[in-house]
């Protein structure tokens, strides 16, 4: 058998040119993609390289400066707060002094008319005891009204049980008519203002009689001896 000869493949020149162009463009695209990937990898690696390249001393200096700035700011706030506190304390003290002066002024204004009445009573040329007594009673009533207005009240004492919170004992006396520690007399009257003691009452309290005193009180009087009969003539 005779072998058939293969016919040579005839390639169109135009098709060959197109294939060559496609291969060149493909190679160009591949090279561009490779360059782009290299650039991206370089960008990703750059921060790490910069972080590694930072000097630790510079980092510490930066942190130290930041801490100093914060400390200076807090110090400034503290100084301003302290100044405001001092000003408030001074203003409060000044207002307290002014209030005290005003309160005293008001009290003296209320007392002056009573003082005027005392002067008038002493300057009265008449020697009438009755008129003088009536004038003093009027002044006492006026002064009592002033105390009541200021909520100053006298402390009850005589006949009351001794209370060390409002009474002051000057002495004690034996008494069988009163229970022990009962106030039987008063030297100086005490006063309170708004339930606060201004001056305690100075009082005398009772105590149990001693045994000797009880014997004297309970002892019966001795019978008087019979009169001697007069001698008869």
pLDDT, tens digit, for every residue of 41-55?
A: 555 544 444 444 568
Closest CA to 128 of 139, 138, 136: 136
Q: Which residue, of 104, 129, 150, is where some domain finishes? A: 150
Residue 10 in domain: no
Which of the residues in the chain have pLDDT under 70? 1-54, 127, 211-233
Residue 213: CA count within 13 A, CB half-sphere: 8
Whether residue 138 is found in the same domain as residue 163: no
Whether residue 82 is found in the same domain as residue 161: no
Whether residue 145 is found in the same domain as residue 160: no
Domain that holds residue 179: 154-212
Whether residue 117 is found in the same domain as residue 136: yes
Residue 25 in domain: no
Whether residue 94 is found in the same domain as residue 167: no
Closest CA to 140 of 117, 112, 157, 120: 117
Q: Which residue, of 101, 133, 150, is where some domain finishes? A: 150
The helix (H) or strand (E) run that includes residue 108 is: helix 56-123
CATH of the domain at 180: 2.30.22.10
Residue 41 in domain: no
Closest CA to 143 of 191, 202, 200, 101: 191
Predicted local distance difference test score (pLDDT) of residue 109: 87
The helix (H) or strand (E) run that includes residue 173 is: strand 167-174
Could you give the number of structural domains in the chain?
2
Whether residue 67 is found in the same domain as residue 146: yes
Residue 15 in domain: no
pLDDT of 160-180, one tens digit each? 999 999 999 999 998 888 889
The helix (H) or strand (E) run that includes residue 184 is: strand 183-188
Q: What Å distances lie between residue 171 and 165, 196, 213, CA to CA?
A: 17, 24, 18
**Phi, psi angles (nearest 5°) of residue 62:** -65, -45
Q: How far apart are CA 182 and CA 162, in angstroms?
A: 6
Whether residue 113 is found in the same domain as residue 166: no
Place of tokens 């004992």: 169
Residue 4 in domain: no
Q: How far apart are CA 187 and CA 202, in angstroms?
A: 5
- DSSP, collapsed to helix, strand or coil, labels residue 163 as coil
Q: Which residues contact 149 (CB under 8 A, 6 or more apart)?
A: 110
Q: How far apart are CA 142 and CA 122, in angstroms?
A: 17
Q: 23 in the Ramachandran plot: left (φ > 0), alpha (ψ -120 to 50) or beta?
A: alpha
Q: How far apart are CA 136 and CA 131, in angstroms?
A: 9
């Amino acid at each position: 058998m005779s072998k058939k000869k293969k016919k040579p493949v005839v390639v169109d020149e135009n098709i060959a040119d197109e294939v060559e162009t496609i291969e060149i463009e493909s190679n160009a695209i591949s090279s561009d993609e490779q360059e782009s990937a290299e650039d991206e990898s370089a960008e990703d690696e750059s921060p790490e390289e910069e972080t590694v390249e930072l000097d630790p001393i510079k980092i510490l200096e930066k942190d130290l400066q930041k801490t100093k700035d914060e400390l200076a700011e807090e110090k400034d706030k503290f100084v301003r707060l302290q100044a405001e506190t001092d000003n408030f304390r001074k203003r409060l003290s000044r207002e307290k002094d002014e209030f005290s002066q005003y309160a005293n002024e008001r009290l003296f204004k209320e007392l002056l008319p009573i003082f005027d009445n005392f002067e008038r009573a002493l300057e009265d040329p008449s020697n009438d005891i009755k008129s003088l007594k009536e004038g003093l009673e009027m002044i006492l009533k006026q002064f009592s009204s002033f105390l009541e207005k200021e909520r100053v009240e006298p402390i009850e004492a005589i006949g009351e049980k001794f209370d060390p919170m409002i009474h002051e004992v000057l002495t004690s006396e034996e008494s069988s008519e009163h229970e022990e520690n009962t106030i039987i007399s008063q030297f100086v009257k005490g006063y309170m203002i708004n339930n606060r003691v201004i001056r305690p009452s100075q009082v005398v309290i009772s105590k149990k009689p001693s045994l000797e005193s009880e014997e004297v009180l309970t002892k019966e009087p001795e019978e008087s001896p019979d009169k001697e009969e007069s001698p008869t003539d």
